[in-house]
Structure 1
Amino acid sequence: MAEPLAARWTIRAPGSSGPRTLYCFPHGGGSAAEYVRWSRKMAGLNVCAIQLPGRGARLAEESAASLDDLVDQLAKELPLSPPYTFFGHSFGALLCFELTHRLIELGRPLPERLVLSAFPAPHLAEFRDGLHLLPDTELLAEVERRHGGIPAEVLADPELVRLTVGGLRADYRLVETHRPRPRPPLPVPFTVLGGDADLVTREQLAAWSAYTDQRPVTVRLFPGGHFYFRERQHAAVLRTVQAAAC
């Protein structure tokens, strides 16, 4: 049963292998493909990108009804292979954080580290903006205004808008309907990354220290905005992530 579940939830680049695994959780509306490409720069590390329902090869699947439901599915079905590290960017940071708590509840092996990128500590996050209720073009325009990362040709083409907006709306709905609850700090160290020109500030990133008992938390900013790892510091970011995973 493990192999079909692995194929459902994960994508690995051909030839990606190593004694340690880096599970990459995509940003809101993102797909696994972006993170699969990281394996070319991470020799000796098994890079495994998470593919969520409603995108890529799972486009026909319904998105999860809630973030808790998605976390529960991942915790029960994702074939985690210790030793491993979680990397999550933006929405993916919240997702892998919540997943780690669920793994504790189920008694499953925990990641050795969480690498959390471009998402504020949960008590500082805005969970009730209602972006997921906006019409398609308004949703994309507002996400582009806040975070960038959406090409102008997508915003100008109704068909590309339709193809892009489904996963984005689904992920924003999961975040905006989520209600964090108080729990003990995780027994897992954190590395927290961000862009120095992002709306998510260093102070919001540093506040993740309240959610782990493994202090101090490493916080590092790179030149760039919300998608700083696509910009000129790409290689430096990947080296930092690889070092955190090893």
Structure 2
Amino acid sequence: MTISLDASEWVRRFHPAPSATARLVCFPHAGGSASYFHPVSAALAPAVEVLAVQYPGRQDRHTEAPVDDLFVLADRLADVLVAETAGPVAFFGHSMGASLAFEVARRLEARGTRLLSLFVSGRRAPSAPHDERVHEKGDDALLAEVKRLGGTDAAILDDEDIRSLVLPALRSDYKAAELYHYRPGPDVSCPIVALIGDSDPKVTEADARLWAERTSGGFELKTYPGGHFYLNDHAAAVIGLLAERLGR
């Protein structure tokens, strides 16, 4: 499968800010899209320019085949983003996007780019044990899991036309996220900040604390009330944290 390396296909700039002092690259969750980070971009501009990643197989890339291998995605995004990381830059990823952000950060650091910080949200550390196979289940079971986590309006997923549009990318993303495993090798030297909801069924505090083993640059854990999509209810606090850290 040929995957485009055209940055204009992979990256969305909702609020271009050429005079920004830093950039923040945001990686969506499984089934998510770049538009999820539009409010973050609006809140941080123009001091911080937000670049939101758009995976194949959704929204304006719906005609492309989704990618079900996180390592393949990381390889492609490292090639795409290397030109976007010449100045001060940080990564933020939620759920699957956190694992992907980490893998892209590893690849870029091997090329000489060190991030200001890596923010990993709602995701266990790569070395945390897991055995999830939701991607192998039927459509109804997969959608039930998405509804359980609360990131998408259940009424939207009950619409037959929308279901047919989102299911291929959703299943592909779940496969990429669930089959991802840590490959030993150089990690990162930038600080890692893990953010979790205190009642998230997908990640425990112990799972999140294992992120400390993946960096030599310091680690923090921030806990918020809520589940897997705690950040929907605490967007102002999370954006405030990002603004404070990137404004230093």
Same fold (TM over 0.5): yes
Task: Look up the match of 1:98.
Answer: 103
Structure 1's 197 and 65: CA in aligned 2 closer, same or farther, altered over 3 A?
closer
Kept after mapping to 2: 8 A contact 1:141/1:155: no
- Say whether 1:198 aligns with 2:200: yes
- Say whether 1:20 aligns with 2:42: no
Code of the residue aligned with 2:78 in structure 1: it is A
- Say whether 1:110 aligns with 2:111: no
Q: How does 1:138-217 map to 2 (within 5 A)?
A: 138-145=141-148, 147-199=149-201, 200-215=203-218, 217=219
C-alpha distance in structure 1 between counterparts of 2:141 and 2:49, whole Å: 38
C-alpha distance in structure 2 between counterparts of 1:39 and 1:189, whole Å: 22
Identity %: 36
Cα displacement (A) at 1:185: 3.6
Specify the SS of the correspondent of 1:86: strand
Structure 2 residues not aligned, in runs of 5+ = none
Structure 1 residues not aligned, in runs of 5+ = none
Structure 1's 92 and 182: CA in aligned 2 closer, same or farther, altered over 3 A?
same
Specify the SS of the correspondent of 2:64: coil
C-alpha distance in structure 2 between counterparts of 1:244 and 1:168, whole Å: 32
Match of 2:66 among 63, 67, 71: 63
TM-score, length of structure 2 as denominator length: 0.89
Cα displacement (A) at 1:218: 1.2
- Say whether 1:244 aligns with 2:248: no
C-alpha distance in structure 1 between counterparts of 2:88 and 2:237, whole Å: 23
C-alpha distance in structure 2 between counterparts of 1:171 and 1:95, whole Å: 11
Deviation beyond 6 Å, 4+ runs, structure 1: none
C-alpha distance in structure 1 between counterparts of 2:116 and 2:13, whole Å: 20
Specify the SS of the correspondent of 1:229: helix
Code of the residue aligned with 1:136 in structure 2: it is D
C-alpha distance in structure 2 between counterparts of 1:171 and 1:135, whole Å: 15
C-alpha distance in structure 1 between counterparts of 2:112 and 2:74, whole Å: 13
Kept after mapping to 1: 8 A contact 2:26/2:93: yes
User: Deviations for 1:200-225, whole angstroms, at most 9, x for unmatched residues?
Assistant: 2222211210111112x111111221
Cα displacement (A) at 1:26: 0.3
Specify the SS of the correspondent of 2:84: coil
Code of the residue aligned with 1:14 in structure 2: it is H
Match of 2:90 among 85, 88, 105: 85
